[in-house]
Structure 1
Amino acid sequence: MRTITLIIVHCSANRAGSALRLADIDRYHRSLGWKGCGYHYVIPTDGTIETGRTEAEVGAHCKKHNRHSIGICYIGGMSADGKPADTRTDAQRTSLRKLLEALHRKYPRALIVGHRDLDPQKDCPCFNAVSEYADLQPH
């Protein structure tokens, strides 16, 4: 069993309204030579929570942090003109919170962060996950 200390929120860096789904990310990640989707969960614009890697598997979503984290990716993160933006739909916001609440119950000591909090070169997930989910952070 892995020790989970981080729950990392990502965006797919696609324009708002993208129809991308987990299967598309899985195909892309396999084309890179990976064993499949690097995220544990993907949330398309309709708010469906799609399961990628099992939580028991090490992800491939954040260098130096994969061994002890769960990776969640929402589809979007770029405005229509290609700039970083919080493009989450209401359905994605609802599903992401629901998933984070469940993961927080399962891993109460895990810190919820955005990818950008671990790699300052990134804008991902294009919103402040630490402050948005402050009520779910370990005390």
Structure 2
Amino acid sequence: MRTINYIVVHCTATQPDAKIESIKKYWRDNLKWKNPGYHFMIKADGVVVNTLPIEQISNGVAGWNSQIINISYIGGIDKNNNPKDTRTPDQKASILKLLRELKSKFPKAKVQGHRDFPNVHKACPSFDAKKEYSGLQ
């Protein structure tokens, strides 16, 4: 197993009703990625979908992915494509449950948002994950 130093929370920067298959198709066809951007995606109803085994490297944070488990909720923008925390109560509960499970497997891993990495110039995950999940550190 690779060394996991971070568990990173993302948003898909899509509307909350976006389908996982269409997101994966965008990664494959437009970005030419061989692996998904995230290990886990959380749908609006709170269902957690494992899109890549955690032993493999996903494409969540350029330059850091070898040491990250990437999780994302579907959503993160408003109707005008501006950053907005669109997490449903079910997504919030599922993210917290998943983070607790991952922290039990990787207790030294830091939980933070995509935007908390150096030289990242985006709002992802559209809320302050570092602050919200500081109790898990």
| TM-score, L = length of structure 2 | 0.93
1:79 matches 2:78:
yes
Q: Report the identity percentage.
A: 41
Partner of 1:44: 43
Structure 1: distance between partners of 2:19 and 2:105: 25
1:121 has 2:131 as partner: no
Counterparts of 2:27 and 2:91 in 1: how far apart (Å)?
Answer: 22
Unaligned 5+ residue runs, structure 2? none
Q: Which runs of 4+ in 1 moved over 6 A?
A: none
Is the Cα contact below 8 Å between 1:13 and 1:76 reproduced in 2? yes
**Pairing of 1:14-93 with structure 2 (within 5 A):** 14-15=14-15, 18-31=16-29, 32-93=31-92
Q: Could you state the TM-score of these two structures normalised by the residue count of structure 1?
A: 0.91
8 Å CA contact 2:35, 2:57 repeated in 1: no
CA shift, 1:51, in A, is 0.5
3-state SS in 1 of match to 2:60: coil
Q: What's the CA shift for 1:22?
A: 2.6
Q: What is the CA-CA distance between 1:66 and the residue it aligns to?
A: 0.3
Aligned residues: 135
Q: Please state how far the C-alpha of 1:53 moved relative to its aligned partner.
A: 1.1
Q: Deviations along 1:92-130, whole A, 9 cap, x unmatched?
A: 001000000000101000000100001441100011111
Deviation (angstroms), 1:81: 3.0
User: Residue 13 in 1 paired to residue 13 in 2?
Assistant: yes
* Contact 1:77/1:124 (8 A) holds in 2: yes
Partner of 1:130: 130
AA matched with 2:130: V
Give the distance between the partners of 2:75 and 2:136, measured in 1 at CA: 23
- In structure 1, stretches of 5+ residues that fail to align are none
Match of residue 4 from structure 1: 4
